[in-house]
Amino acid sequence: MKFYRSCGSLAAFPIAALFGGIACSSTTASSPSGDSPPAFPTPKLAVACADAPDAIYGDPGPLPSDLAKRGEILKCTTDPHLTKESLQATASELGYVGKPFTSGAHVYRIAYRT
């Protein structure tokens, strides 16, 4: 798992989606072949999230100084699905001892105006 530091007026929070945008499911499903992650509904986002991962950290160019546009999403991309097993393993490595995770997570990287 990678952690990134924000620069300038942009911030990207890959881990924020993990804590703030987890798509939960109490059931498990498997693919017919058994080699892909369990399928659970992908959250419907208010904006298209189809930018290239490298675009999130690039310079957005000149931005107007309109204070009303603070929080506006500039770029958005999706990361690979995290299975509950991979989340549990990482949390355990970091010392987590609470209840076992019941689902995986969809992770989004977002660059927005500050």
The distance in angstroms from the start CA to the end CA of the chain is 25
Distance CA 42, CA 29 (A): 14
Which two structure tokens, joined as six digits, stand for 65? 């100084």
- Residue 36 binned pLDDT confidence (cut-offs 50, 70, 90): low
pTM, full prediction: 0.56
pLDDT of residue 39: 60
pLDDT at 104 over 80: yes
pLDDT of residue 48: 87
pLDDT of residue 88: 96
pLDDT of residue 87: 94
Domain spans of the chain, in order of start? 14-25+37-42+50-112
pLDDT of residue 37: 52
Identify the residue with better confidence: 52 or 29: 52
